[in-house]
Amino acid sequence: MNLNSPKALIITAPGINCDLELANSFVAAGARPHTELLQALVRDPSRIAGYDLIGLPGGFSFGDDVAAGRIMGALMARSIYPALRDAIHRGVPMICPCNGFQIAVQAGLLPGPVDASEDWPSTAAHATVALSSNSMARFVDRWTRVEIPSDTVCIWTKGLDCQKPDDMLPNAHGEGRFVAPQSVVERLEATGQIAIRYRACDNFNGSVSAIAGICDPSGLVFGLMPHPERYTRWTQHPQWTRVDASARQNEPLGLRIFKNAVRWVREDRRGAHFELGASAG
């Protein structure tokens, strides 16, 4: 790995179990991952300033004893939120799959300010969206087809073609149903913050508007319930031996998502403006 490659921070804590997959995905995309315990960052939040990308892995942080992601989200909100806020202002992309999405919502990182012209609050804002129990009231482990809105501002998914039958992502959660007031959903749609959707026939958890993931107004912070870090190699596809050989010449959707962000850090961040209250350029 090139020492000049972007440096990715993976924040882990008791119960997190997808940090290795996330690290491997960053490596495959051309970044250098480093795992740090939340407790170490709480003691020294300034460590976050040394990274170009950030990942909140999936799993069952603190056993999901109170609710999925709530304990870790609350700890982050009262300790390292200002450092994460500063990272967003610097233009640091952040990906939060599954439990990471739940944590980001609880920590006040998603859906973020009302629009990109507003400053991030100095303290974590109250959550305006939620990841609730699946409509079938049980844990589900399955692959689903997904689609990416053409107007999304999310730098992780923007511009990705997602029309092929093998453009799928794995899911594994019991509390992944995206819920929000209609006014919030309409605002997310108007500002391009819906980053990825389940195909209508694959909206297994009953998410409103089939929303599988959203981003903040800048497009940097990306939370989603599917696991793109579990689909960066064709051999991870559940029917990879049946996928046409010509299709396997293309990169899996998960890898394209990570490469999108690494490419943005390398090529586009220098031309973007992320001072307080500024939108992505």
The boundaries of the domain holding residue 54 are 7-269
What pLDDT shows up at residue 275?
39
Rounded Cα gap, residues 53 and 65, in angstroms: 29
What pLDDT shows up at residue 273?
43
What pLDDT shows up at residue 276?
32
What pLDDT shows up at residue 4?
80
pLDDT digits (tens, 9 = 90+) for 96-126: 999 999 999 999 999 999 877 788 999 998 8
H or E element at residue 185:
helix 182-190
Per the CB < 8 A criterion, the answer to whether 262 and 78 are in contact is no
Number of domains in the chain: 1
What pLDDT shows up at residue 272?
57
Any domain includes 274: no
Q: What is the mean pLDDT of residues 195-204?
A: 96
pLDDT at 148 over 90: yes
| Residue 261, domain CATH | 3.40.50.880
65: pLDDT confidence band, cut at 50, 70 and 90? confident
Candidates 146, 150, 166; CA nearest to 158 is 150
Rounded Cα gap, residues 43 and 208, in angstroms: 38
Any domain includes 281: no
pTM of the model as a whole = 0.93
What pLDDT shows up at residue 274?
41
Cα end-to-end span (Å), the chain: 29
Side chain identity at 43, as an amino acid letter?
A: R
| Strand ranges (E), the chain | 7-12, 32-37, 53-55, 94-97, 130-132, 140-147, 168-173, 177-179, 194-198, 211-215, 221-224
Rounded Cα gap, residues 257 and 221, in angstroms: 13
pLDDT at 246 over 90: no
Residues carrying an active site annotation: 98, 227, 229
Question: If DSSP states are collapsed to H, E and C, what string results for 14-79?
Answer: CCECCHHHHHHHHHHHCCEEEEEEHHHHHHCHHHHHHCCEEECCCECHHHHCCCCCHHHHHHHHCC
pLDDT digits (tens, 9 = 90+) for 4-56: 899 999 999 999 999 999 999 999 999 999 999 999 999 999 999 999 999 99
What pLDDT shows up at residue 277?
34
H or E element at residue 190:
helix 182-190
Angle at 96 between CA 93 and CA 98, to 5 degrees: 165
248: pLDDT confidence band, cut at 50, 70 and 90? confident
Rounded Cα gap, residues 104 and 97, in angstroms: 9
Candidates 98, 101, 255; CA nearest to 171 is 98
What are residue 29's phi and psi, to 5 degrees? Answer: -90, -5
Rounded Cα gap, residues 188 and 194, in angstroms: 6
pLDDT at 173 over 70: yes
Task: Label the pairing between strands 94-97 and 168-173.
Answer: unpaired
What pLDDT shows up at residue 1?
61
The structure tokens 């603190």 sit at 62
pLDDT at 278 over 70: no
